[in-house]
Structures are given as C-alpha cells and as structure tokens.
Structure 1
Amino acid sequence: MASNSRRSSTRCASRCRTLSDARDQIPATQAPTIGRRGLLLVLSSPSGAGKTTLSKRLLASDASLRVSVSVTTRAPRRGEVDGKDYHFITEAEFKKRQDAGALLEWALVHGNYYASPRGPVEEALAAGSDTLFDIDWQGARQIREKMAADVVSIFILPPTGKALERRLTSRGQDSAEVVARRMANAAGEIAHWGEYDYVIVNSDIEASYATLSAILAAERHKRV
C-alpha cells in the first residue's frame, strides 16, 4: 500500500509541476501577444457593382486595414485626389516603374494602365498589417501567382445586368459611350469570378458589407 501511495504522489508531483510551468508562461495581467503576417484582401468586380463603395466603407470602419493606392495613367475624375485615390502618372513613368520591377501587378483597363506599387505592400505584410486591393481580375491573378498564401480574394457581382447598367448611368461620371463600353466589358470580367475565394452578390449594400466584414474577421483568425 505504501508503494502505491509513493507512486501516486510521484505522478501528482509531476502533473503539478507541469501545471505550474504552464501557469508561469501566461502573463498575470494581460493576454499573450500573438503575432501574424499581414494579409492581402483583394476585391474585384465589373465597374458599377459596388466594389469601391464597399471598400471605402470597410476602410472607414477598420483601423487595422490600409488601402494599396494604385498608380494609373488615366485622368483624375471629379473629386479624386492624387496620392489618396490614385497616384496619377504618365505612361512614360508607368513604363519606367514597370521595367524597374517596382510594380506588384499591372493591367490595361479601358485603355488606361493601372498597377499596385510593390514596396509598400511587402513592408505591410512583414509588419503584420492588412492591405486592401481594389483591382480587376488581371491584377488579382498576378498577385495570387506571386503571393498566394497571403491573398484573400473576393469577387463582387451585381444582381442583374440591368441593375449594373442603371448604377453606371446614375452615378453620372461617364458618358453614354463609356457606359456602353463598360457594359460590354462586364461579361468578360464576370467570367473570372470562379478564380476567387469568395463571391458576394451585391443586391443589398448593408448585407454585402456585413458579409465582407465577416469574411475578413474569419480570415484574420485563421492566420493567428
């Protein structure tokens, strides 16, 4: 009986030391800090499907998310600010940056060049910061090819073609000719939705925003 008692005491002492060691590793006043690499949240859609509206709302409500400010060769639209909405550059400057390898991705869209600068994105990833990209399917594909493990891609679809045309017309930014060209290109863009991790049909902006926020939260937890 004494032998059994000694074995029991030994097992207890071993378990107690293990529990004590575990407790010593947990801070008494705050939760442990868990670091993670940043993620790249890529949003794409045909023009007028609501991608930009959703992007701006997400950025305004999430202090941990920054936007990748693209460079473009197109002219600024009414109300756009250089360095905030886009970096507006000449085609010659665009080619120079492209040749220097300073662009993470690039695309020719509606006759204008767009691209994401490489340096700020790589710095944000290493610092554990999340970056949002408002780009088309061509750019999304290039980023996935280069940084697949860091990318969460979401395609925003309009509920119908008529709804898309109505949105393009009502925003009053483009001529009838430009609207017609965007509608003609929409089918080709929508054909790539299957390449994305998630698809949101934007028939209601509130529901779409809630879904987008939930996806981002879940993907962050997966990377902890």
Structure 2
Amino acid sequence: MNSFSGFSASPRYLLALTGPSGVGKTTISQRLAAKLADYIQKPLIITTRAPKKHDGDEYRYVTTEEFLKLQKSGGLAAETRLPPEAERRWYGYRAEDLDGIWRQGKIPVVITEMHLLRGFVARYGRDAILSCGLLPPGHGKRAMLSVLMNRLQLRDRDSEESIRSRIENAARDLIFFTEHAGLFDYLLVNDDADAIVSVLKGYVIRTIT
C-alpha cells in the first residue's frame, strides 16, 4: 500500500533546502522531485537576471520593474538580492505558484539562502517549513569553502568574479547555519547526492504521514 495514500498538504508545508552556491541544492531538489513527483513539486524561481545556458526550466525571467511590482503588491512569498554587490539581481518565489502546488495536494520544494528562508518563515511560520541545511564536506570553514570553489569552477557556469562573490556569500551562509540553528530541522553534509536524496525522502514521508 502506498504510504502517501490520501495525503493532502494541510497544514501547508514547505520543504526548504538552504545552502551556499555549489553545495548541490538544485541537483538534490531535482532528483527528489523526480522520485516523489506525485507528492512534491518545485515552483519556478522568479529572477531579474539574464538567462544562462544551463538554467533549464528552473527560472521565470522578469524585469526589475515587474519584480518590484510583485513585491509591492505582496505577490512574492519571499525574495532576496544576490549577489550583494555589482548587479544586485533579484530572486524570489511567487505566492500564487506555491498556492497552486498546495491546491494539488503537494508540497512545494524551494531552494533558499538566508534571506529567502527568513522570508518564508515570516510569511508562513516556522512550523510550516521542513527546513534542511546543506553543507559541503570538509573539516572547518576553510575546507568547506575550498570544496565549494572547486565545484563552482568545475561546473563552468560563472565568471571568476561571480565565483569570488559566491564564495563570499557562502562564507556568510556558513556562519548563518551556526547563528540561526533554530531555523533548521536538519543539517546535512552533501558528500553523496544520492544518499542525501534518500534521507530527504524519508524526512518528507515522516512529515506527511
């Protein structure tokens, strides 16, 4: 018998995967969504940045004016600006996209960083969020950042300037995990994406059954 039988996402849960660039959030969320396609779904990320070759179907691209209009009207469930310097590109999630997933009886899976996670908590409440922090392997902050830099360079999507900015953000993210431990239900070291997906699948099952 399917352990999900009769599930309805009420109260409205979110699964939030939080971590620095290069930690594997997108890969893990895609694999998890594929394994539990009938029960979880990834909403599109709204962004003002230009499309990139490897984006796939992760994003909905809007102008800064359109983004700020959504923000002003309360249409965004959470938003942030990344990186903190240079272009200050906006990212966020539309509330109506999350509502649409809940109406299907599914759980939205969102990729977050510290500002987005705080935004979701402010809007929906801490108890509505199954919050998982993803950390790179390594003993100590310097080793973790070295792993992230290597991953970002290997995936060959970003300029050196962008990678430096992402590593600076990652350093702040790692501190955030320590200083705001109450925002996380689980902290997981991603040294094996398939193993992490299996662990997360178990968390989701326990949450909804």
Q: With the length of structure 1 as denominator, give the TM-score of the two structures.
A: 0.78
What residue in structure 2 maps to residue 142 of structure 1? 119
State the AA in 2 paired with 1:197: D
CA-to-aligned-CA distance 1:118-160 (integer Å, 9 cap, x gap): 1121343355321110121211111112212321111100012
Matched, 1:42 2:16: yes
For the structure 1 residues 85 and 188, does the alpha-carbon distance in structure 2 shift closer, same or farther, using more than 3 Å as the test? Answer: same
Aligned residue pairs: how many?
188
State the AA in 1 paired with 2:147: A
Structure 2: 5+ residue runs without aligned partners?
A: 138-143
Measured in 2, the distance between the counterparts of 1:36 and 1:176 equals: 42
120-129 vs 110-119, which moves further: 120-129
1:40 Cα deviation after fit: 0.7
Relative contact order: is structure 1 or structure 2 higher (C-alpha 8 Å, sep ≥ 6)?
2
Measured in 1, the distance between the counterparts of 2:21 and 2:152 equals: 8
State the AA in 2 paired with 1:61: K
What residue in structure 1 maps to residue 43 of structure 2? 68
Measured in 2, the distance between the counterparts of 1:34 and 1:179 equals: 41
State the AA in 1 paired with 2:149: E
Matched, 1:201 2:174: no
What residue in structure 1 maps to residue 205 of structure 2? 217
Matched, 1:117 2:105: no
What residue in structure 2 maps to residue 90 of structure 1? 63
For the structure 1 residues 79 and 180, does the alpha-carbon distance in structure 2 shift closer, same or farther, using more than 3 Å as the test? Answer: closer
What residue in structure 1 maps to residue 133 of structure 2? 155
Secondary structure of the 1:48 match is: coil
State the AA in 2 paired with 1:98: Q
Matched, 1:187 2:171: yes
What residue in structure 2 maps to residue 99 of structure 1? 72
What residue in structure 2 maps to residue 166 of structure 1? 150
Aligned 8 A contact 2:41 2:109 in 1:
yes
Match of 1:54 among 28, 37, 45: 28
1:206 Cα deviation after fit: 2.2
Q: How many percent identity over aligned positions?
A: 28
Match of 2:106 among 129, 145, 156: 129
Measured in 2, the distance between the counterparts of 1:41 and 1:98 equals: 22
For the structure 1 residues 177 and 36, does the alpha-carbon distance in structure 2 shift closer, same or farther, using more than 3 Å as the test? Answer: closer
CA-to-aligned-CA distance 1:196-224 (integer Å, 9 cap, x gap): 11111111222222211111111112xxx
Q: With the length of structure 2 as denominator, give the TM-score of the two structures.
A: 0.84
What residue in structure 1 maps to residue 53 of structure 2? 78
Q: Point out the structure with max Rg over C-alpha.
A: 1
What residue in structure 2 maps to residue 16 of structure 1? none
Q: CA RMSD in A?
A: 1.7
Aligned 8 A contact 2:41 2:108 in 1:
yes
For the structure 1 residues 74 and 35, does the alpha-carbon distance in structure 2 shift closer, same or farther, using more than 3 Å as the test? Answer: closer
Measured in 2, the distance between the counterparts of 1:80 and 1:48 equals: 14
For the structure 1 residues 89 and 35, does the alpha-carbon distance in structure 2 shift closer, same or farther, using more than 3 Å as the test? Answer: closer
Measured in 2, the distance between the counterparts of 1:208 and 1:162 equals: 21
Secondary structure of the 1:191 match is: helix
